[in-house]
Structure 1
């Protein structure tokens, strides 16, 4: 437990109790990590799965029961000063963070025939700009010389096409390139950088019909669940993974496209 003493992790994009972000927080809290998470309910409220306004607070209450320190804030990551706002708030409430997990994402369906400039920009500002700037702000402020971790969420764009999701595929695909280059730049600071592709994961957006279509593509006979990727991330931020960096981990249960 000495490695975990006072370890502080930031997780972005944690609005929904059924989401990957919430599962990451729950998994890390069980191991004793202190947590700070961000959420942005206006986005989820426009999505088919929607959100109850009290879900982030309910999650905070659940995490506190596990005996760890927890902070959170509603934050629009597309704002110019969002990275600084975030790091300042984390330091004020919990202390200097050791871990950053870039889970926040923007996703809507579109293809070449109906893609608009506005929609592409919305994907870019969250999926690429926010992830990059929060990561570089975290790295510039990291002073501990060892044990730093950045984990990005990707979606396996280079494993096959994603028709009907051209903006999402384009912007999330750039996460792989960011991960590889940033890992080389910040290694001297004592920070590892990796990305995780969870594959199709049931966070409440899957219909029963879609689950039936996807299940035969998984050799384990089920679709991915949020805790599956959370466990992978828990390993990547652990001391045992301090020699793993610049990697894109396809933690998708053998999913065959």
Structure 2
């Protein structure tokens, strides 16, 4: 006997829903994969980017530019809009949500995927970098949730806030303290935000995707981490996107206040 599982693919399980996805600035990135997945499931998407940050990093900005990225997502139109905005400005989160609501009439899902990457040991960190990492990663996520909740119509189903952390609760990251500390704050805020919004039918969850190949790691790190993953490879952005899509769908409605470690069995001790 053959048993076929219904994965929900092709059903447009998010038809009529509106999602804000932050951090959509590289085709190799998680944000791009999430935006593409939600669009494929029928959602309308406001894609947020801040390309100057990527341009300052070793991996650099996407050579196709935002025009190429948006074109690959199907092009700006009825179901896709775009905004370039800097989360170091405390007014940005509310502005992004307002633009999405104005563009599509409402917002149902917020995926706070944006991040500021910052290296720094205890000897090297500065107050300025700590403030910037906090502002973008932690404060930006809280204010996105606040702005989303303020405009959400609770008569609509599917209210979702989905945030991202990076496993700082599972192992230390002493070489990148500004990043680790600010992302750790997201882990700690998840349950409290979920409780604040539970009575309104809005779920709040955080994803720890583990090592994901988005082109940032050097060859040595790629090999070492690959040996610590049972599959012998890093995670793929589309694998993260499928989890986000499930959390955003009606199938994920019973999950809230959780930090989900989706790491493929990552054995940190084996690195």
Question: Normalising to structure 1: TM-score of the pair?
Answer: 0.95
Partner of 2:67: 57
Partner of 1:163: 174
C-alpha contact 1:17 1:55 (8 A) present in aligned 2: no
C-alpha contact 1:200 1:224 (8 A) present in aligned 2: yes
Of 35-44 and 75-84, the range deviating more from structure 2: 75-84
C-alpha contact 2:76 2:82 (8 A) present in aligned 1: no
| Among 128, 132, 135, the residue aligned to 1:125 | 135
Listed as ranges, the gaps of 5+ residues in structure 2 are 1-10
- CA deviations on 1:58-103 (whole Å, 9 max, x unpaired) are 2222222699610011011121221221122112222201000000
Partner of 1:37: 47
RMSD: 1.7
The question of 1:205 aligning with 2:224 is answered no
C-alpha contact 1:142 1:189 (8 A) present in aligned 2: no
SS in 2 for 1:171: helix
C-alpha contact 1:102 1:131 (8 A) present in aligned 2: yes
Partner of 2:94: 84
How far is the alpha carbon of 1:8 from its aligned partner?
A: 0.7
How far is the alpha carbon of 1:156 from its aligned partner?
A: 0.9
* Aligned counterparts of 2:113 and 2:187: Cα–Cα separation in 1: 14
How many equivalent residue pairs? 257
* Aligned counterparts of 2:123 and 2:98: Cα–Cα separation in 1: 42
Residues 69-108 of structure 1 correspond to what in structure 2 (within 5 A)?
69-108=79-118
Question: Normalising to structure 2: TM-score of the pair?
Answer: 0.90
- CA deviations on 1:170-222 (whole Å, 9 max, x unpaired) are 11001011111000110111100000001111101012221111111111111
* Aligned counterparts of 1:207 and 1:3: Cα–Cα separation in 2: 38
Of 81-90 and 174-183, the range deviating more from structure 2: 81-90
Listed as ranges, the gaps of 5+ residues in structure 1 are none
Partner of 1:237: 248
